[in-house]
């Protein structure tokens, strides 16, 4: 198919050159087939690459650079090495991101306009043909376009867990029609077509794309000459040390306190915790670890021995013989925490989501303060003796924590709570007034009968 296309455009080129030589005037804008962008010799053709950097939600845009390379393949239908060697080189172009691009991040939404847990930022390169290219003669030239597979990770994640970068395997063909200038002083690009032959995952693809800046009318404002990458940031550590280091590498902290003179500081409260993998860039088989920490008298925390069986999870030990709970994505794990204990996850990629439910405890009023990606806290209060759930949240690069507080009901254990007391007083007053009114009426009745 590619050879047939090349032969067809070779005829177009030959006819155009013959016309230029025959009439001795500027070559007019050619009537090229669909998908070709024609230019006259006074214009500079503009073609740009678009980088689509996709990330789990709440990921900060990294400082990173991507290069795109162009390789000579064919000239006038010939792939002979001697002919290809005479083709001019086209220098690579780049797209770079920094934290300044955070303002351009967009969140992918589903058909119901709900967030999907994925975000992206797009950016175009400089004009590929803004450079000087010395065409040796008129004709049809073909180049491949791919992403350079050597990219330096930004190294912005904390700890010893590598960041994840999945590069694009897309491949394009640029077919460039070159014509001679009317004054015989050189050559210019009279038309160009760009076709995709491989998608971002290396799958076969076919079709034209619009490589002009901004893309076609009504599109999202970017060239269709695109390469998609996936970036996932980890801030965790495999075997954290206590006590300070574990705080630095805690990606999610679920902590427990109680208050009230009758509150038990030894009581174990039940929690149901579920962790879901980031929506993009990580494997379904990824495991996560969480340590139980005890608060010491000096205010520091120490890794605790886990004295319960984490139903739904697995009790393991790290390289320093510290107990931890292993979570699988999507599995609900039953955890027990007492006063001044924390459940600290140390290896969650940014964009991992979680839900947690504290089971109701008799005579305790549950509440929590929620902080996600450093924003908060947001307070939510439950009801006595009932469950309290934190709905699905996506963790960010900054602080992610849920601080559960259980207040003990200091009143009698009759089902009457302090929160209900104003209503009880109002009812009592109403009953007292009704009794007084009835007594007055009764006395007046007796007086009338007498």
3-state secondary structure of 426: helix
Per-residue pLDDT at 426: 65
Do the first three CATH levels of 2-232 and 244-408 match, i.e. the same topology?
yes
Structure token digits, residue 171: 């491949």
Residue numbers in the chain where pLDDT is lower than 70: 1-35, 38, 156-162, 217-219, 235-245, 411-450
Helix (H) / strand (E) containing 343? strand 341-345
Distance of CA 213 to the CA centre of its chain: 26
Q: Could you give phi then psi for residue 211, rounded to 5 degrees?
A: -95, 5
Per-residue pLDDT at 379: 97
Domain 2-232 has CATH 2.60.40.3050: yes
Provide the whole-model pTM. 0.79
Sequence-distant (≥ 6) Cβ neighbours of residue 27 within 8 angstroms? 16, 19, 20, 40, 41, 179, 180, 181, 182, 190
Structure token digits, residue 80: 């002979």
Per-residue pLDDT at 6: 40
Locate the domains of the chain by residue range. Answer: 2-232, 244-408
Per-residue pLDDT at 420: 56
Looking at the domain 244-408, which fold is it?
Immunoglobulin-like (2.60.40)
Cα–Cα distance for residue pair 347/220, rounded to 1 Å? 36
Tracing tokens 């009745």 back to the chain, one arrives at: 445
Structure token digits, residue 332: 């609900």
- Alpha-carbon distances of 372 from 62, 240, 251, 351, 401, rounded to whole Å: 20, 22, 10, 11, 7
Cα–Cα distance for residue pair 161/303, rounded to 1 Å? 20
Kindly report the CA angle at 318 between 302 and 235, in degrees rounded to 5?
75
Per-residue pLDDT at 368: 98
Cα–Cα distance for residue pair 235/34, rounded to 1 Å? 49
Per-residue burial over 149-174, b = 16 or more CB atoms within 10 Å of its CB, e = otherwise: eeeeebeebebebebbbebbbbbbbb
Tracing tokens 């860039």 back to the chain, one arrives at: 281
């Amino acid at each position: 198919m590619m050879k047939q296309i090349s032969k067809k455009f070779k005829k177009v080129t030959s006819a155009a050159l013959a016309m230029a030589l025959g009439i001795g005037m500027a070559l007019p804008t050619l009537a090229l087939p669909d998908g070709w962008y024609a230019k006259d010799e006074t214009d500079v053709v503009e073609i740009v690459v678009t980088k689509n950097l996709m990330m789990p939600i709440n990921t900060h845009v990294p400082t990173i650079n991507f290069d795109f390379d162009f390789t000579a393949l064919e000239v006038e239908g010939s792939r002979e090495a001697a002919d290809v060697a005479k083709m001019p080189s086209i220098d690579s172009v780049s797209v770079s991101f920094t934290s300044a691009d955070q303002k351009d991040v967009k969140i992918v939404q589903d058909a119901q306009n709900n967030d999907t847990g994925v975000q992206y930022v797009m950016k175009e390169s400089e004009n590929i043909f803004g450079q000087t290219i010395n065409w040796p003669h008129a004709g049809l030239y073909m180049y491949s376009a791919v992403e350079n597979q050597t990219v330096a990770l930004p190294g912005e994640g904390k700890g010893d867990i590598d960041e994840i970068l999945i590069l694009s395997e897309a491949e394009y063909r640029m077919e460039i029609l070159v014509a001679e200038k009317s004054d015989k002083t050189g050559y210019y690009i009279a038309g160009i077509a760009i076709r995709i032959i491989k998608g971002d995952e290396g799958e076969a693809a076919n079709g034209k794309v619009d490589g002009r800046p901004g893309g076609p009318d009504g599109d999202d404002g970017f060239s269709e000459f695109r390469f998609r990458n996936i970036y996932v940031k980890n801030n965790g550590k495999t075997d954290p040390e206590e006590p300070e280091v574990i705080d630095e590498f805690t990606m999610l902290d679920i902590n427990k306190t109680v208050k009230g003179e009758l509150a038990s500081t030894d009581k174990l409260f039940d929690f149901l915790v579920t962790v879901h993998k980031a929506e993009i860039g990580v494997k379904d088989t990824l495991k996560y670890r969480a340590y139980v920490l005890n608060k010491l008298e000096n205010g520091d925390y120490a890794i605790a021995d886990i004295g319960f069986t984490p139903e739904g999870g697995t009790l393991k030990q790290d390289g320093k013989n510290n107990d931890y709970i292993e979570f699988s994505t999507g599995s609900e794990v039953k955890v027990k925490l007492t006063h001044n204990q924390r459940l600290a996850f140390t290896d969650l990629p940014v964009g991992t989501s979680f839900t947690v439910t504290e089971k109701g405890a008799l005579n305790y009023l549950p509440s929590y303060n929620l902080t996600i990606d450093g924003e908060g806290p947001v307070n939510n209060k439950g009801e006595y003796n009932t469950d309290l759930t934190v709905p699905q949240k996506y963790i960010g690069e900054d602080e992610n924590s849920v601080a559960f507080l259980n207040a003990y009901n200091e009143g009698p254990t009759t089902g009457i709570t302090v929160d209900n007391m104003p209503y009880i007083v109002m009812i009592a007053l109403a009953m007292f007034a009704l009794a007084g009114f009835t007594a007055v009426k009764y006395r007046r009745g007796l007086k009338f009968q007498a």
